[in-house]
Chains A and B, each alone.
Chain A
Amino acid sequence: MPAPLRRLASALAVLATAGALVWGLMLLSPVDPARQILLAQGDPAPAPAEVDATRHELGLDRSYPEQYARWLTAAVRGDFGTSWRTGDPVAAELAGRLPATIRLTLVALLFATAVALALALPGLERPGGPADVFARGLVFGGSALPVFAVGVVLLEFVVVGAGIGRVVADGTWSGALLPALPLALGIGAEWARVLRGGLRDALGAPHSETARARGAGRLRILALHGLPHAAAPFLTVAAMSAGGLLAGAAVVETLFTWPGIGRLLITSIDAGDLPVVQAIVLLGVVAFLAANLLAETLTAAIDPRRREKR
């Protein structure tokens, strides 16, 4: 099987497994979904007949495999059922929150890239020199900082103390700058470590030496030899940290009352709103797999040796 197809197939297999596990949560729940939905839709005391009718409507009177198949096909179409908390379709709940989270994530990724470059590049000229040691110290400190702590400090001193930014964030681009910082710092430091390693390997390689001997300037070698080589390990790690980003988003969004998916997840867990939790977890898995798939595809596009093995 060609490599891109193989990658896609394995991603789908992971997704199917994750889907089965997520669906399985429903079996473990002591709550009767039909009754719960009627309650959420404003019926304070649903009559047993009504509950039975809803249960039939939801297909909960069918066999488990059948239920799973129905749930899965609906999920693929983006239908995750009805929220037990609000009685609204889960998809609508998510759609309302998704843009804010995407904004926050993109700004955080941008910051993290900036942090990674800022920490990785200055030390390259003289490994072990002052700039390198300083940057490595920052990398170490940065990756040790918990998202939560940075968030609290920012909130306390920058927002409340200095009056910059808003305590209640509104989900806009400009509002994303501050909450994105705690998300970006740790990831950026981790990326810097990988980027620095990749760049040092590439710039120390004999082919970079050849380029120097042919008269190529420092920046030219960095841009044309160094960065493409560092890209492969960097992309791999960046994609892996997509998972961490999701977890961090839950913390940051709650802290900054950011109207995104992460906060919705926490709220839904608190409220025992299983369908929403299921949808968010699956969304996270999809995002993670998509990021990895993208990274692998890009890596293969950069490296002819990998292209060949297809």
Chain B
Amino acid sequence: MATVLKIRDLAVTYPDGTQALRGVDLDLAEGECLALAGESGSGKSTLLRVLLSLLPKGSRVTGSAVVDDDGTSLEAVGADRATLRRLRGGLLGYVGQDPHAAADPLWSVGRHLREAWRARRMRPAKGAAEERAEAVGITQARARLRQYPHQWSGGMLQRAHIAGAGVHGPLVTLADEPTSALDAGLAATTLAVLRADARALLLVCHDLRHVAAVADRVAVLYAGRVVETGVDVPARPRHPYTKALVAAAPRPGHGLPEELPGTSPDLRRELTGCAFAPRCGLALESCHREDPVLDDGVACPVVPR
């Protein structure tokens, strides 16, 4: 399968000096769902925001993130207006975190959906919005789209956002914890709808359990770096951090979850060595000095290959 998104050595420093991403390499293939996991502050949302150029003014971005559409390559890092116009809502779809917060309460749901065309200076064909809504499982779309967000349930409203994100058949759909505001049952169906509607999906998710069902591959971020990637990460974590993350998630029949020891590092300081070292039970003396490199999907020298 063709690679549609190629991220190389991506680094982001926020205006306050926080290094949210510190050299990330990722590939996303057509038809694939790649989940980005990690605690808040690991840089996973930042990654989506770089692609859409939604970082706060004054952020420094280096490296590259190329969206590859059938031979045309668009560089998202430092994109000019024309490129941005092609990316935002065009090649890149976006689904936010909290469906109600992501909807303007003064707008009807239908107006939101039609805005996906209008924002790009197009006119939705008659019935096109309703058709999109029905494609993601919103029944009686005609009547329901006339309602306002506060009259909709979170799950249904998130479907409407998914419909809006997919209006122009984006090459890559970026979803930023799309189910964190929904309860567990709804989360699974909503993820399934999202997965079915997207051509390639980059899914930011803090809960590894949700990820397992939909993601083809998982990349775990810690302190702005990919520490582990693979197809089986949630079930068979290898990196000490991922193991701790999995152990920290409550699972029925596994007793009380083990809390992650320590706190995330201060990303405003220059970090040397493995960022997880202060919290890691297996840390070697060299871990504090040498940057572990991603090798065979894990960035940790003590993991057996």
Contact = CB atoms under 8 A, between A and B. Distances in A.
A303 B106 contact: yes
Given A206-B96, A206-B98, A212-B88, A220 B119 contact: yes
Contacts of B102: 206-207, 209-210
A214 interface: yes
Contact of B105 (A125, A126, A208, A303): A303
Contacts of A210: 94, 96, 102-103, 161
B94 A214 contact: yes
B104 A207 contact: yes
Interface centre among B85, B94, B106, B174 (most CB of A within 10 A): B106
Contact of A214 (B89, B106, B108, B150): B89
B106 A302 contact: yes
A91 B141 CA distance: 58
B52 interface: yes
Contacts of B103: 207, 210
B54 A212 contact: yes
B116 interface: yes
A150 interface: no
Interface in A218-244: 220, 225, 228-229
A213 interface: yes
A208 B120 CA distance: 15
Contacts of B92: 213
B115 A213 contact: no
Contacts of B98: 206
Given A214-B119, A214-B164, A205 B85 contact: no
Contact of A205 (B88, B101, B164, B165): B101
B54 A215 contact: no
Contacts of B115: 211, 214, 216
B101 A215 contact: no
B57 interface: yes
A304 B52 contact: no
A217 B84 CA distance: 10
Contacts of A217: 119
Contacts of B54: 209, 212-213
A305 interface: yes
B264 interface: no
Contact of A213 (B57, B85, B89): B89
Interface string B150-174: 1000000000010011000000001
B97 interface: yes
B249 to A, nearest CB: 26
B106 A229 contact: yes
Interface in A267-310: 302-305, 308
B14 interface: no
Contact of B96 (A126, A209, A225, A302): A209
Interface centre among A126, A216, A302 (most CB of B within 10 A): A216
A106 B105 CA distance: 32
Contacts of A305: 105, 148, 150
Contacts of A220: 119
Interface string B75-114: 0000000001100111010101110011111101000000
Contacts of A216: 115, 119
B104 A215 contact: no
B57 A212 contact: no
B136 to A, nearest CB: 16
Interface in A178-210: 205-210
Contacts of B85: 215
Contacts of B165: 214
A40 to B, nearest CB: 56
Given A206-B102, A220-B119, A215 B90 contact: yes
Interface in A123-165: 125-126
A105 B207 CA distance: 59
A245 to B, nearest CB: 28
A205 B100 CA distance: 11
Contacts of A208: 104
Interface centre among A207, A210, A217 (most CB of B within 10 A): A210
Nearest to B119: A216
A305 B152 CA distance: 12
Nearest to A220: B119
Contacts of B88: 212-215
Contacts of A213: 52, 54, 88-89, 92, 94, 96, 174
7 contacts: A209-B102, A210-B96, A213-B52, A214-B119, A304-B148, A304-B150, A305-B148
